[in-house]
Structure 1
Amino acid sequence: MKIRYMLVHAYGMGGTIRTVVNQANAMAEAGHDVEIVSAVRRRTKPQFEIDERVKVWALVDQRDGVVPDSFARKVWRRARGKIVPYGEFAAHYFTQRVESALIDYVSSVQDGILVTTRPALNLISARRGSSKAVRVAQEHMNLASYHPAVREHITRYYGSFDAVAVLTETSRKEYRAIFKDMPIVRIPNAVPMEHRKHSDHSNPIVIAAGRLVPQKGFDMLIPAFASIAQAHPEWKLQIFGTGPLQQKLQNRIDKQEMGDRITLMGRSDRLHEELAKASIYALSSRMEGLPMAMIEAMGHALPIVAFDCPTGPADVLTPGKDGLLVPRRDVPKLGEALSQVMSDADLRRRMGAAAAETARGYTPQVVMPLWEELYTALLNRAPIAHDYGAVRH
């Protein structure tokens, strides 16, 4: 079958880009004709490895005209398109020129599967795409996390899709409340688990990973760890990632006088090795879609300590079995949970083993057949089960 995936910037970094590239690679490996269409291009080479059988190309080449995001937002206010609403996280990409190129493209697709991967692209496909192609909207964040204007547009226009794919059962319930009859399928992102070395839970390191942005909540993780650091003098916290909050987070570390215990590690090309050397994974996010880094940590048999943020952690974890969940944004409780797991090596080993077993449900071998079966059914206009992709216990 012919499958076209659309991304805002297929040549960039980010969780959605990585997971869509993984999907495209798997579909090409299965023998399908696969393309990745990027709205814009700001780098010469993709940052993730793409199968040579996958065609990658861009609608608007911006390699000679990249400007800082802050300036891009000012330009967008003067030259914004007509479809993407204010409040969409990536709205500043969608100038009149970019929107026009996207409209021309989606209206030209007359066959196969067209998969769009965030609200801006979804809305353009929903409003201007041809009904001759099977159109699937992927949602990588929970509905409640979007700006009200984005949610209003989703409610108004997503009904024209053949299916909406979400990552968790919580998200399925959100969309099901709006779209009673349209297929809302739950298909998680796939996480390869081959050759994952398991932690032996002996190294006194708490690890966290993600962009240094407000969403990831590292400004709460730092004081949570600091609050119990004196009781666990051998333990350290390592935070991997880069982003605009780096200096503010470092200032917070310095203010807590934790410079010798908490380290901003930057970006690592060997994060899997670092996960295997750690003993606990901490997730302090204010919101998630499906926490990929957390699932990857579980694949290394790390027990999880996480905020019960919407959505994601509670859709993956069984509290007390493979990790601990605490009320979202409750910094003292997060510290207490970290302390509990730090204090008990047997608990770490028991939860870590259960975490590794949970992670098996997110391997490509489990996930990719769900996509292939969905696309085949949609092309054949076959009915889609109301609980398609539901976790079976």
Structure 2
Amino acid sequence: MSRDIFFVSNSVDEIGGVTTWSHQMARLLADRGHRVHVIGIAPVEESLRQQFPADLPYKTTCLYDVRPPSPRALRGLKGKLNAAERRRQSARRAGMREQAEKLNALFRAAGPGAVVICTQVWAMEWVALADTKGLTVIGMSHESYEASHKSSRAARVRRHYKDVDRLLVLTPEDADLWIRSGMDNVGSMPNPLPFMPEAPAPREAKVVASVGRLAFEKGVDLLLDAWSEAAPLHPDWTLRIYGAGAEEATLRAYCTSLGLDDSVEWMGSTGDVLGALQGASVFAQASRAEGFPITLLEAMAAGVPPVAFDCAPGVREIVSHGEDGLLARLGNTIELAAHLDRLMSDREYRDRLGDTAFREVQRYSSADITDRWEALFAFLQR
């Protein structure tokens, strides 16, 4: 059955895994004959924008021309008497209702069986104002249960997703935690492989690759700490860091302070992740928090053995320690460095792990995951 499918996210083109996932799933579902529309709430700064082809096989829309102001709590009598802030919040709510009317127009034009997939809970604040009667609404959390509860997002997930047809998280372990905490509409859905090469990377270059946003939660500073331990043991190896973000200047300065400039290359953002990985022999990820990291899937699909912090259920669901990658305890940079050292020291070992990763990760093939999505649509429509 061909459906109208709306992906609603914070942004259409912000750098990050959720945006990458949204466009990947939009393309996969459009290839199956569905009418797909990717909707972003607000634009992002140019420096944080991903580049997408002009001829996408689906529609894209951004509701706001400029980012709306953030809400502020009006606490106590002083807050109630703050007339300027009350006017500001009233204008914000009016603007939200105006943008929700744009969603209504799109939703009313949808055919039977239409689905709204809200990929981020901030965006759900606008979807909740729209008329979704007759549509299937799926909410998503692309982070672990633990990471969500370390922020304000857990409370918003409970508030905005409690009545959707399904709340999807990324692993059965996280789904179970949400269910035990009182949410009764929770399921899980893993991310699909972004690509599946015919053969693993040659793993000949003495390069460790890292791919991701240069942001605090991605732990590039921790990776540099680990590299400062491993690099002196392997002076002929290089760490290549692919990515951009607000922390770049700070991270570069930290790299210099550690004396690593000769062994670290800052590659910037890349539109050819597979090419970057095929030029490496080891993949490193030092994230403080993750959901179901696409970069790990990409590395394993390329046949490059990963070293990562065991920071979330999604990481240990993807990587089997000692079989297709190596996991270190969260924040333990000495352990992460030891894993890097072992893979850099032993060509036979990294080839064995890389070849196993290449085989095992195929359980997340795009065809299989798309089948699961279509089956979920049909189930929820009944």
Q: Give the TM-score band, short-chain normalised.
A: 0.7 to 0.9
Q: Is the 8 A contact 1:169 1:315 kept in 2?
A: no
Q: Secondary structure at the match of 1:60?
A: coil
**Using the alignment, how far apart are the partners of 2:256 and 2:194 within structure 1?**
37
Q: TM-score by structure 1 length?
A: 0.83
Instruction: Name the structure 1 match of 2:77.
Output: none
Q: Secondary structure at the match of 2:283?
A: strand
1:174 paired with 2:168, answer no
Instruction: Name the structure 2 match of 1:69.
Output: none
Instruction: Name the structure 2 match of 1:99.
Output: 96
Instruction: Name the structure 2 match of 1:338.
Output: 340
Q: Is the 8 A contact 1:3 1:33 kept in 2?
A: yes
Query: Tell me, which stretches of 5 or more residues in structure 2 are unaligned?
Result: 75-90
Describe the superposition over 1:347-375 as per-residue Cα deviations: whole angstroms up to 9, x where unpaired.
10100011111221222111101111111
Instruction: Name the structure 2 match of 1:325.
Output: 327
**Using the alignment, how far apart are the partners of 1:20 and 1:137 within structure 2?**
13
1:148–1:198 distance in 2 versus 1, CA, 3 Å? closer
Report the Cα offset of residue 122 of structure 1: 2.8
**Using the alignment, how far apart are the partners of 1:311 and 1:203 within structure 2?**
31
**Using the alignment, how far apart are the partners of 1:253 and 1:42 within structure 2?**
28
1:76 paired with 2:70, answer yes
Query: Tell me, which stretches of 5 or more residues in structure 1 are unaligned?
Result: 67-71, 81-93, 381-393
Report the Cα offset of residue 256 of structure 1: 1.6
Q: Is the 8 A contact 1:28 1:51 kept in 2?
A: no
Instruction: Name the structure 1 match of 2:88.
Output: none
Which residue identity does 2:65 align to in structure 1? D
Which stretch of the first structure deviates more once superposed, 261-270 or 104-113?
104-113
In the alignment, which of 51, 74, 83 is matched to residue 47 of structure 1? 51
1:159 paired with 2:162, answer yes
Q: Is the 8 A contact 1:191 1:295 kept in 2?
A: yes
Instruction: Name the structure 2 match of 1:57.
Output: 61
Instruction: Name the structure 1 match of 2:290.
Output: 288
**Using the alignment, how far apart are the partners of 1:269 and 1:156 within structure 2?**
37
Instruction: Name the structure 2 match of 1:385.
Output: none
1:221-370 matches, cutoff 5 A: 221-370=223-372
**Using the alignment, how far apart are the partners of 1:43 and 1:257 within structure 2?**
32
Instruction: Name the structure 2 match of 1:389.
Output: none
Report the Cα offset of residue 219 of structure 1: 0.4
Q: Is the 8 A contact 2:197 2:301 kept in 1?
A: no
Instruction: Name the structure 2 match of 1:145.
Output: 147
1:6-25 matches, cutoff 5 A: 6-25=8-27
Which residue identity does 1:296 align to in structure 2? E
1:98–1:345 distance in 2 versus 1, CA, 3 Å? farther
Q: Is the 8 A contact 1:302 1:355 kept in 2?
A: yes
Report the Cα offset of residue 106 of structure 1: 5.2
Report the Cα offset of residue 246 of structure 1: 1.3
1:142–1:106 distance in 2 versus 1, CA, 3 Å? farther
**Using the alignment, how far apart are the partners of 1:58 and 1:261 within structure 2?**
41
Q: Secondary structure at the match of 1:136?
A: strand
1:78–1:287 distance in 2 versus 1, CA, 3 Å? closer
Q: Is the 8 A contact 2:9 2:39 kept in 1?
A: yes
Q: Secondary structure at the match of 2:64?
A: strand
Identity of aligned residues (%): 25
Please give the root-mean-square deviation of Cα atoms over the aligned residues, in Å: 2.7
Q: Is the 8 A contact 1:41 1:61 kept in 2?
A: yes
Describe the superposition over 1:64-111 as per-residue Cα deviations: whole angstroms up to 9, x where unpaired.
xx7xxxxx7xx425699xxxxxxxxxxxxx954553244435566366
Q: Is the 8 A contact 2:196 2:302 kept in 1?
A: no
Q: TM-score by structure 2 length?
A: 0.85
**Using the alignment, how far apart are the partners of 2:160 and 2:97 within structure 1?**
18
**Using the alignment, how far apart are the partners of 1:201 and 1:52 within structure 2?**
33
1:330–1:372 distance in 2 versus 1, CA, 3 Å? same
Describe the superposition over 1:4-30 as per-residue Cα deviations: whole angstroms up to 9, x where unpaired.
111222133322112111112221211
